[in-house]
Structure 1
Amino acid sequence: MTSRSQTNASSPKAASSPKNTSSSWYDHPQYFDMVFRDETADEVEFFQQIFDRYLSRPAKRLYEPGCGSGRLVAAMAAKGFHLTAVDNNPAMLAYLRRRLSRRSLDAELILGDMTTHVCRPLVDAAFCTFNTFRHLVDAESAQRHLRSVAKSLRRGGIYILGFHCIPLDADPDCTERWKASHAGTQVSVTLRVIDFQRRRRLETLRVSIKATKPSGAVQRIRSEFPLRLYTPSQAQSLLASVNDVFEIAGIFDFDCDVDQERVIDEDLTDAVFVLRKK
């Protein structure tokens, strides 16, 4: 199970504890995965509803760039889809291979670059949700990625792309907290914005993890990384820059409700774009 709360940066700090270990949380896929696994079923149902609505023929081949721990890859493979998944982190792919093996599932896993990888054969649909796209911290990388995904899709195929947008009056001092548990391990995650540069369109996040194992042993991890900032209008401009290969077929939010379509305005903060290849 997972739970999340959001506060501002003035929230009181936790009591003192053993020194954190500097490490990327992406090198610890078991904890990364625990935080988001409860959202998987809703996302899978949403994907299938989107396929039914926007594809002219049944989807068979799927692609996830930046697949991470592969919770969605495994879930979609279990539904009978053929998956291609790309990530640049070997620990994530190793974790995903073990997960697929335990469930007697199969997928094509590639250690590679999501800005340049092109799938062959072509796929019917691709998906990249919950801010992975924002790790591409400049316009050139974002456009290269979108064009490589377009090259991976058959004509009429779709790309489900989800990421947070910020309103013009966004408060840069933000902290989010998650708690999760699985197989006796308790995980607490705190994500804090430690640098916010609107003009450069970059924010730096610090993720702190405390994992308490069934034995009582505690592991602490701290990592920092930049993400690109998008206002709704900046997201719209980016998508307009690739309108020779993609059209916006639909817009939703992170609620994964196909009956609640959105428009691009300043209230669109958790954006899910359905892009159709021309």
Structure 2
Amino acid sequence: MTSRLPGLLAAIALVAAFAASPLSAHAQAADTTAAPAAAVQAAEAPADAAAPAAAAPADNPYGLKAMISHGDAVSKGVLALLLIMSMGSWYILMTKLWDTRKLAAEADRVRGSFFKNPTLADGVKGLQDGSAFRFVAQSAIEASEHHEGTLTEHIDRSSWVTMQVDRAVGQVNRRVQGGLGFLATVGSTSPFIGLFGTVWGILQALTAIGVAGQASIDKVAGPVGEALIMTAIGLGVAVPAVLGYNWLVNRNKSVMDEVRTFAADLHGVLMGAAIRAPKA
């Protein structure tokens, strides 16, 4: 019995070893498969955590907002001047567009109805108060009725009326052309004002390089970005002003031709027949 006991113990130990080896292999396989899964989760966790941060847009440190926030007095002054010039240009463009449209519409009404009235007095009453055509008509009629005086008697009646009509047309033309000088000034000077901002930005960049002692990108990018923004704004102010100026000049020529035609016809009527002037 005792002689068989060591053999029995050896057999039990061998069976236990074989039974334990599959469990350990399975555990190692589980650890092997769990490790990549944990690594994947660890890799995905920062990505998921970084997703909200990536979704939030970062402020551009070299854009217009940064220039306004961190720019000096010169750059802000140039920007304010360009803004005022742009606002003035667009105001003139809109108001002159409205004025010329109103004048052209009135010219169509005058062409179709004014000279069909029985008298010039009735025609003047049908014109809108404060309009250019009413101003020219009243000036011509007043000159025709008040051709007296020691000095004006040396001028014949036709020449006197012609002079007064030309003066009235000239006043209308000055009102129509008002503001075009500002557009021409903006169109010719705003690129150079933007260029001044560009030169100032480059000077600031060179100063930053000299102070830092090295040409690092963070020292150069900000001032150079401001310089490029100033150039773009200067061109953005100049182009609408130049285009608007040329467009308004051609439009004003068209409406002023209508006013001059009306004045010439009115002069012919005044010289051809007697009229009753409207009472004040």
Bin the TM-score by the shorter chain: under 0.3
Greater percentage in helix: 2
TM-score (normalised: structure 1):
0.20
Larger Rg, first or second structure (1 or 2) = 2
Greater percentage in strand: 1
Greater RCO, CA 8 A, separation 6+: 2
TM-score (normalised: structure 2):
0.20
